Copies of this chain bind each other. A is one copy, B any other.
Amino acid sequence: MRSAFYISDGTAITSEVFGHALLSLFPTEFNHITIPFVETEEQARQVCKEISDNFKQTGERPLVFYTIVNSDVREVISGSEGINYNFLDQFVAPLEKILGLPAKPEKHRTHSIHEKTYDIRIEAVNYALANDDGSTTDNYAEADIILVGVSRSGKTPTSLYLALQYGIKAANYPFTEEDMGDMLKLPPKLRRFKEKLFGLTISADRLHQIRNERRANSRYASIRQCRMELREVENLYRKEKIPFLNSTRFSVEEISAKILAQTGLTRKKY
C-alpha cells in the first residue's frame, strides 16, 4: 500500500485535511503517516530518512503533503525521495499579486494557542460541558444556542463540536417523559429563550438501534417508545416554529454546518 506523509512545523492538521480530501477522490487505500512539529533541519533530515525507508520497503514512492515556514527546514523536505506537495505554495505568488501584499508567513498561524479566538473556544467547551443534558438550566442567558431533542438524538456531540471548532456556546436540553405528560409542552425555562432553541430529530429506527445498544430490550429503547417521543417533539417543533433538522443521515460536522447555515450564528473561528 502506498504511504501518504503529512508534515508540518505545526500540528500538520492543514496538511492532513488537504491531503486526505485529495486522496479521498481516489478509490484506493493509503497508509497515512503524520509527522508534526518538524522544526529543525536535523529533524527534517530524519523525516527524509523515514520517507526513503518507506519507499524502499513498499516499492512505491510515498506522497508527501507539507507546509513549513522556515525555508531551510522546508528545503530539506523538498528534497525528500517522496512525491512532494508543498501544496499552499503555488497559490501564494498569484495571491500576492491580487492582494497587492507580500505574504508574511509566521509560525503557528493556525491551530495554535496564539489564535485570537482560542480562549473563547475553551470557554465554550467548558460551557457545553457544564450545560450538557439539561444538568442545569440556569445559564441559558449566556448560550448562543440551546439544542433540544429526545435522549440520544445527537445533542451532546453536536454541542461539543460547535464549542471546540467554532467557539459557540451550545447548551443542550433533553425532553424527557416528565416533560411529555399527556402532550409535550415547551417548559417555561425554555420558553424564555425560545429564539435560541434548535431542535434535533432522528428516525425512530435509528433511535431504537442507538438506545438498544445502551439499554437492550428496555422500554426506553423500544421502537414504540421511540416513535411516541419523536412524534411528540416533532409536533412541538412545528407548533412552536422551532427550527429543526433530522440528524439520522448526518455526521456531527454536517449537523453543525447545517445549524450554522440555518441559524446564521457567527462562528468564532475558521
CB-based contact B122/A157 at 8 Å: yes
Alpha-carbon distance between A108 and B104 when the two chains are bound, in angstroms = 34
Asked if A2 is at the interface (CB within 8 A of a chain B CB), the reply is: yes
Q: A99-B2, A101-B28, A156-B129 are in contact. Are A20 and B270 (CB under 8 A)?
A: yes
Choose the segment among A88-96, A182-190, A231-239 that binds chain B (4+ C-beta atoms closer than 8 Å): A88-96
Number of copies: 2
Q: A87-B91, A113-B249, A251-B113 are in contact. Are A21 and B14 (CB under 8 A)?
A: yes
CB-based contact B157/A104 at 8 Å: no
CB-based contact A109/B25 at 8 Å: yes
CB-based contact B250/A113 at 8 Å: yes
Q: Indicate which residue in B10, B14, B34, B37 contacts A17 across the interface (CB closer than 8 Å).
A: B14
Additional A-B contacts beyond A22-B91, A35-B261, A112-B251 (6; CB < 8 A): A21-B109, A25-B103, A34-B267, A125-B156, A125-B160, A164-B164
Asked if A240 is at the interface (CB within 8 A of a chain B CB), the reply is: no
